[in-house]
Amino acid sequence: MPNSEISSLPVDEKYFDDSSSNYRAVHDSSLKDSEQFWANIAKELSWSREWDEVLEWKPPFAKWFTGGKINASFNCLDRHMDSEQKDKDAYIWEGENGDKRTITYAQLYEEVNHFASALLNLGVKKGDKIAFYMPMVPEFPVAILAATRIGATFTVVFSGFSAVALADRINDSQAKLVITSDGGFRRGKILKLKEIVDDALTKTSTVTNVIVLKRAGIEINMEENRDIWWDDAIKDTDDFVEPEQLESDHPLYILYTSGTTGKPKGVLHGTGGYLTYVYATTKWVFDIKKDDVYWCPADIGWVTGHSYFIFGPLLHGATSIMYEGAPDYPNPERLWEMIDRYNVTIFYFTPTGIRALMKHGNELPQKHDLSSLRLLGTVGEPINPAAWRWYYDVIGNKKCPIVDTWWQTETGGIMLSASPNLGLVSLKPGSATFPLPGIEADIVDEKGNSVGLGEKGFIVIKRPWPGMFMTLYNDSERYKQVYWEKFPGCYYPGDYAIRDHDGYFWLLGRADEVLNVAGHRLGTIEIEDAMVEHPAVAEAAVAGKPDEIKGESIVVFAILKKGYEPSEELRTDLFNHVRKVLGPVATPEEIHFVNMVPKTRSGKIMRRVVKAVASGTDIGDITTLEDGASVDEIKKTIDEFRQSVKS
């Protein structure tokens, strides 16, 4: 493929000097004997029995640290009880309504023990499944850690999902207990969580008890013999519960993917390998130090919340901010105000969140003192260079490195990212840079052959790593078929990517969303990046529609920034802009102005839905869609446009 095809990547823009980075040396040596490499890291955790074998690899199933015994809550809590961490804040919590609470490691330890005792009293045993449907309050991590203490496997369902989605996940995981609250606060309204649980439980048969935390103080129905208030459950419980010594591959949790590309998949993670990986990556990427105040606003309902809000920071004894509500409530400066209030040093957010706040301009963040920040991160989608620069300039005041972390629910932890703890490599806006130590990544063509630098292809991982999922719950066939069959021996994440001439990795979107325009393969993100480079555009979603001549033509939905109005001139200007940035082949066929684009509840653009609407095909599973109105809007916009073209 000609090099000119990558001209859209701003490869010349580099931030930070990498001359003293140890990254390359560490990465090289990690691959020489990766089992020894991982074993050395695992030794930094506390095991009650050491493993017999580091890796038992029966492709495509891996077991890490077999024979070893470990407990997650012990590693997150008990370990810190003999150190100065004990009296440090584990969580500094703020409710959406301004309520405040701090909880030290010692207090967290105490609460977890009592709640674990409550679970035992209810007859919950090792291997039982617990479903969570909770707002972001400190009791949420308490209950999760308590579950891990007794060896119960948990599954978190994001509290914005419907009763049907909750029932599906309860049925799939066969949960016996549900932990919820009466309600939670979101954008000033009360979400009636218990009511939704009641509704879901009419469609399930495995649940014998529901524990209900009082948060919103609303009237709810309590079913006798089934429902129990949190406060009653912890009455007269023991203040110490012996942590269950669990086999390294004991199932820690089941988590359903975001549903961006189709029906959500139930990803099953083990314990010892997962904890080792999350521990290592938290250190490399976030470089957490004793005095840091770390904030990852991700909801626990997503894998980011599992790995880098709960386990990673707690394993390191770090202090985290926890916030209950919406990032733009009561106004879009809430996050900046909180960074200022708590002197946050490390902030890990999403491109979608950054673009949404960027839309409101620079004044809001500039009203606040953000100088405590020293490191910024992003996760969830490729970050457009324009959004990267705004994050870097305006939020980080041109002094904070940005770690763009590429990973998936399936991978358990970050796979590609700069790693400040090993010495920063130079950063390029929009590139996740390089694979972390122990990770062997490559880009291959349809046949599985490595492609050269500057050529697009499929990203693959060529050897197992400790954070990898064990299987898809109840569906090992789908596990094999989705991730391992396309390129035998390699893990196939399903993303499209390219390496530039310095070897940097750039993620170009989902492999099944790549456009084929007149013989040129274009990642959706390449066109979206170009759109967002234009000063008027806050966000764009791109999809292909079938075209008799070109194969596919490009349809763009654009959301404008504050202060810009849709007009024919602007549309023409945008056509010209994309053509100028990417070349004539990438000129969109249609550009539509909209107020929102279809997104998952985790905030990712659902391009398959955009594509289905643009090509008039079935829109498929939309159980994780955030707002149905977005689909109606793009449908209406397209219909009106095509009607006007016809007439």
**Residues found near ligand ATP in the complex (CB under 6 A):** 257-262, 264-265, 303, 379-382, 404-409, 432, 493, 495, 507, 510, 602, 604
How far apart are CB 127 and ligand ATP at their closest, in Å? 25
Contacts of 355 (CB under 8 A, 6+ apart): 384, 387, 532, 538, 539
In this structure, the number of other CB atoms found within 10 A of the CB of residue 472 comes to 22
Alpha carbon distances (Å) from 110 to 40, 84, 234, 458: 31, 16, 11, 47
* Rounded (10°) angle between helices 524-533 and 568-582: 120
The item of ligand ATP, Mg ion, none sharing an interface with residue 493, based on CB under 5 to 8 Å by kind, is ligand ATP
How far apart are CB 244 and Mg ion at their closest, in Å? 31
How far apart are CB 263 and ligand ATP at their closest, in Å? 8
How far apart are CB 154 and ligand ATP at their closest, in Å? 18
Virtual torsion, Cα 626, 630, 631, 635, nearest 10 deg: 180
| Piece of 113-121, 253-261, 362-370, 444-452 that binds Mg ion (CB under 5 A) | 253-261
The residue behind tokens 């708590």 is 342
How far apart are CB 424 and ligand ATP at their closest, in Å? 17
- In this complex, which beta carbon is closest to ligand ATP, that of residue 124 or of residue 530? 530
- In this complex, which beta carbon is closest to ligand ATP, that of residue 85 or of residue 600? 600
How far apart are CB 100 and ligand ATP at their closest, in Å? 30
How far apart are CB 410 and ligand ATP at their closest, in Å? 6
Let me know: does 417 contact 285? Beta carbons within 8 Å. yes
Could you give the 3-state DSSP secondary structure of residue 9? coil
Strands 441-444 and 456-461 come out as antiparallel
The Cα 277–Cα 519 span in angstroms is 40
Using CB positions, name the residue nearest to Mg ion. Answer: 257
How far apart are CB 86 and ligand ATP at their closest, in Å? 34
- In this complex, which beta carbon is closest to ligand ATP, that of residue 95 or of residue 382? 382
- In this complex, which beta carbon is closest to Mg ion, that of residue 347 or of residue 496? 496
Query: Maximum CA pair distance of the chain?
Result: 77
The item of Mg ion, ligand ATP, none sharing an interface with residue 259, based on CB under 5 to 8 Å by kind, is ligand ATP
How far apart are CB 257 and ligand ATP at their closest, in Å? 3
- In this complex, which beta carbon is closest to Mg ion, that of residue 93 or of residue 483? 483
The item of ligand ATP, Mg ion, none sharing an interface with residue 288, based on CB under 5 to 8 Å by kind, is none
Q: What is the DSSP string of 166-204?
A: HHHHHHHHT-SEEEEES-EEETTEEE-HHHHHHHHHTT-
Query: Which is it for the CA torsion 260, 62, 313, 30, positive or negative?
Result: negative
- In this complex, which beta carbon is closest to Mg ion, that of residue 75 or of residue 257? 257
- In this complex, which beta carbon is closest to ligand ATP, that of residue 365 or of residue 380? 380
The item of Mg ion, ligand ATP, none sharing an interface with residue 300, based on CB under 5 to 8 Å by kind, is none
Question: Residues 436-466, buried b or exposed e (16+ Cβ, 10 A)?
Answer: bbbbbbbbbeeebeebeebbbbbbbbbbbbb
- In this complex, which beta carbon is closest to ligand ATP, that of residue 65 or of residue 158? 158
- In this complex, which beta carbon is closest to ligand ATP, that of residue 303 or of residue 613? 303
The item of ligand ATP, Mg ion, none sharing an interface with residue 379, based on CB under 5 to 8 Å by kind, is ligand ATP
The item of Mg ion, ligand ATP, none sharing an interface with residue 404, based on CB under 5 to 8 Å by kind, is ligand ATP
- In this complex, which beta carbon is closest to Mg ion, that of residue 257 or of residue 417? 257
| Strand order, beta sheet including 495-499 | 441-444, 456-461, 495-499, 505-510
The Cα 346–Cα 361 span in angstroms is 22
Tell me the CA end-to-end span of the chain in Å, nearest whole number.
Answer: 41
The item of ligand ATP, Mg ion, none sharing an interface with residue 8, based on CB under 5 to 8 Å by kind, is none
The item of ligand ATP, Mg ion, none sharing an interface with residue 604, based on CB under 5 to 8 Å by kind, is ligand ATP
Query: Which is it for the CA torsion 527, 529, 530, 532, positive or negative?
Result: positive
| Closest CA relative to residue 46, chosen from 232, 212, 248 | 248
The item of ligand ATP, Mg ion, none sharing an interface with residue 507, based on CB under 5 to 8 Å by kind, is ligand ATP
Residues lying near Mg ion in the complex (CB under 5 A) are found at: 257
